Structure 1
């Protein structure tokens, strides 16, 4: 992943509470075996009607919102299933950050693990950002991950919190595996001590798969 230290972009307000991952990325777009093409499915049923025509009232279909990269969402954004495709689709559509009063727990972990910045702010600040985005199409915000501060062109300035590990993952461009590997020396030292103290447990899985067929044949002979 690429480091995420600073995000600046134009905003759009999604005034929807409890927007779930099935709405963000509907199930019919999950048939592939890779990440390609998910942009087309993003918020599909909100963007288009049953005949595939754009819904003119949906914010991302309105003039002035074509190059939005920061979404201002309602509470419990990304609730529902654990599909990581919701995060990938948002990123493929150019979304770099989402600001909301709260997020679905699994969605939050998926987003931070893929470099999609999520900012949790009090509802009063989120409402101000939504009003700015509606009043001035494409109103911009600047988010400093290092300082944990968001500033908008309309005058909102707010500090936010983030777990140290998520902040480090963003700043250093690490996913969960990459973060774990920063502790590789400690992991290897622990493993070495563990196998030295309990050598009979090492490779027990490999030995069991080797022995099981032989034991089965022995039982058959008996």
Structure 2
């Protein structure tokens, strides 16, 4: 997982409330266990509508989505986070998130930023013309117009994101402790130690 410190660029001004995981990636795309290729199916229902933000060349490749309340509600499908990642999205800003989606996003290196509705409304306006800057180290979202919004984030999640640590990385980081435990445990319960080949 890549470390996250700063995310800069245009943002998709989506703004919709209650965007569920089926809207992010529909069920017909769930037949894969691969994380790549899902961006093609992301927001497919919305992309059928003329003038949608996801097919507007102005926002092509934007690393940020600005959404309404309860983003990521619905099923627990991790494919929703994978689809966003495959589109190049590194952060979603919204007034609230589904807990399961927020957890899946975090585990896949996507920053979820919770801001008050007034801040989200302002960022929706800025996103139509200018880039947005997110700084995880200082926990701020800023614009070229001197807007500055502070956000909170769980300290453990911030540590993992800024150090690029997923669950495997966290486990590898504890390998010395794991080896020490296994050595002690082998002395206590030798019958569990595999026989040498």
TM range (shorter): 0.7 to 0.9
Contact kept, 8 Å, 2:61 with 2:87, in 1: the verdict is no
Q: Which residue of 1 is the match for residue 123 of structure 2? A: 129
Summarize deviations over 1:79-113 as a string: whole Å, max 9, x none.
Answer: 11111111111111121211111111111111111
- Report the TM-score, using the length of structure 2 for normalisation: 0.87
Contact 1:97 1:116 in 2 (8 A): yes
TM-score (norm 1): 0.78
Show structure 1 runs of 5+ residues with no match: 49-54, 207-222
Q: Determine if the alignment matches structure 1 residue 40 to structure 2 residue 40.
A: yes
Q: Which residue of 2 aligns with 1:87?
A: 81
Choose the corresponding residue for 2:152, options 161, 174, 183.
161
**After the TM superposition, which residues 18-29 of structure 1 pair with which residues of structure 2 at under 5 Å, given as runs?**
18-29=18-29
Deviating above 6 A after TM superposition, structure 1's stretches of 4 or more consecutive aligned residues are none
Query: Matched residues in 2 for 1:141 and 1:95: separation?
Result: 13
| 2:133 alignment partner in structure 1 | 142
Q: Aligned residues, how many?
A: 194
Match of 2:103 among 109, 112, 135: 109
Contact 1:56 1:62 in 2 (8 A): no
- Report the Cα distance in structure 1 between the residues aligned to 2:57 and 2:127, rounded to whole angstroms: 13
Counterpart position of 2:2: 2
Which protein has the larger Cα radius of gyration, Structure 1 or Structure 2?
1
Larger deviation, residues 177-186 vs 25-34: 177-186
In structure 2, runs of 5+ residues without a counterpart are none
Measure how far apart 1:16 and its partner are.
1.2
Structure-2 change in CA distance of 1:146 and 1:202 (3 Å): same
> 3-state DSSP class of the match of 1:64?
helix
- Inter-partner Cα distance in structure 2 for 1:184 and 1:108: 28
